Amino acid sequence: MPDILDIKIATMEGTQTTLRGLGGNRWLVVNVASACGATPQYEGLQAIHASNEEMTVVGFPCNQFGAQEPGTHSEICEFTAEKYSVSFPLMAKVDVKGDGKTGLYIALSEVADAEGYSGDIRWNFEKFLIESDGSIQRFSTRVMPEDIAL
């Protein structure tokens, strides 16, 4: 398995990059959705991204939970920009659980959260704080972005 920071991820533009390629020294990776009860978390994610030069928030739209991210790439970008002024990178829509799970989420699913849960992502807006040394903390949907000790 390659270093988690070097796992290939698809951009909305159809190119490949990595977390390391997005810049920063820390990454907050989040599976996002536009029509979820947790969607207002975009506001806290944007605040973290805007206020911390070393932190790169990275959103991965996913439509696997209640079909709450049905939009196209352009619709997702338009919605997040207009409603939440999102300027952090949004990647191509991915699967974060099941047989089609993308490589990054295969690795992230192995990380346990504070309650000891590891395994498939359970809902939208599950968060992973990844440090430049490769250490990872996992946070459930219920943990608000502003409650993560950065």
> Among all residues, which ones are annotated catalytic?
36
3-state helix, strand, coil in the chain (%, to 5): 25, 20, 55
The Cβ of residue 99 has, within 10 Å, a number of other Cβ atoms equal to 5
The H-or-E segment that residue 72 falls in is none
Whole-Å CA distances, 143 to 38, 127, 132, 147: 10, 8, 22, 6
CA distance 66 to 70: 10
CA distance 39 to 33: 6
Tokens of 43: 């506001």
Amino acid making up residue 83: K
